[in-house]
Amino acid sequence: MRRGGCGSTAGGLSGLVTALAAVACGASEFAGDTVGQDAADRGEDGGLDAGVEAATDGAADVRWHAESGDETVSMSDVGTPGEAAGPDATTEGMPADAAAGDAGSLDGSAVTDSAAVDASGGEAASSDAASGEETLAQSRDRLLATFASDVCGAWASFDPSRRAVFLTITHRLWISRTEDGRPALSHVRRLYAVLGGGATGRECGDDENNRLFLGMDAYLWGQMVATWRGARVIADGGGSSWIRTRDLGGPHDPFDASLETDTGLRCILLVETPESRPPNGQAHFFLEGSARAFSRGTTALPLDPYMLEIDHDYDCLHRSNPLCADFDERYTRNWGDFDCDWVPSACTPIGEGCYRSAR
């Protein structure tokens, strides 16, 4: 596989600050088991209003408008009752459409760091996802169609690190299964941003690099809220489940809830332990009533109550670029083949091997 070199290892910090930050990152994996999980066991909800009982019948129609940069983003989520979230999924404090298990597809324009969004992109493929028949390749095609009207141009504009991030994270969401038996990826309705290894593609870390920003449906949001509150309802693809984060750093700003895969990276300070299966998946999202528009680096992101940030931690420094060191090989070894040579089905591949471009 092709790889870029490694740049920053701890968000551009240097000297003593880098060492202290590295120890803190590693210690979070060691000490975090009791910090994060104990909170979940106590039933703390991080500000979620447990006193509000969500409605479970009737159609939900939620509309919102938010200023994002120089643009006003307008979205709607019109839902009808569907499958219940399941007996273990707590519905208190959730919007009515989430409690009802609504598919909750989003439409309207979204702000990205690349090509303009096609407001109607992905509509046809969404019906395949609803039937549970969508493949990983079809899911990727569908998401890219919500990101840009010219998917081939968008894919060609990505550097190899952005392609690698997109491919590994979509695979992660494909092998993660929700209570309805479907891939979590089938409940993702929009791709907002694909961030790779910075301007050069070679940065290994930093919380503004190597991650996806997605719009999920109400059902997946409800499953994530239930997980935050202690339920184990989303399989992690490694024999366990997604759980409330054990990272001492907690959710990434501005999110107020965070999950991680129970199976994954294990460290004692900066030393990876024998049972480690990197990378960890980490997901950040909003609890009800806390969503807002924000920016990540130069990327403006709209107000979306179902916004999802997701990345991977490949080592005890929490580096997240698949092209650093042997990280993409670690992913394949521990989590399976993510089809590193994939290109959008509407495009003609350029070259051979992993992370290739297309036209």
Domain spans in the chain, listed from the N-terminal domain onward: 15-358
pTM greater than 0.85 (yes/no): no
Of residues 196 and 130, the one with the higher pLDDT is 196
Residues β-bridged to residue 142: none
Q: What 3-state DSSP class applies to 94? A: coil
pLDDT band at 202 (very low <50, low <70, confident <90, very high): very high
Report whether pLDDT(212) > 70: yes
Q: What 3-state DSSP class applies to 138? A: helix
Give the pLDDT of residue 132: 54
* Average predicted confidence (pLDDT) for the chain: 73
Task: State how beta strands 271-272 and 267-268 pair.
Answer: antiparallel
What's the CA angle centered on 155, arms 154 and 157, to 5 degrees?
A: 65
Report whether pLDDT(172) > 60: yes
Tens-digit pLDDT profile for residues 289-316: 999 999 988 899 999 999 999 999 999 9
Report whether pLDDT(57) > 50: no
With a pLDDT cut of 90, the percent of the chain lying above it is: 59
With a pLDDT cut of 70, the percent of the chain lying above it is: 63
Q: How far apart are CA 153 and CA 348, in angstroms?
A: 11
Residues 242-271 have a mean pLDDT of 92
**Side chain identity at residue 280, one-letter code:** N
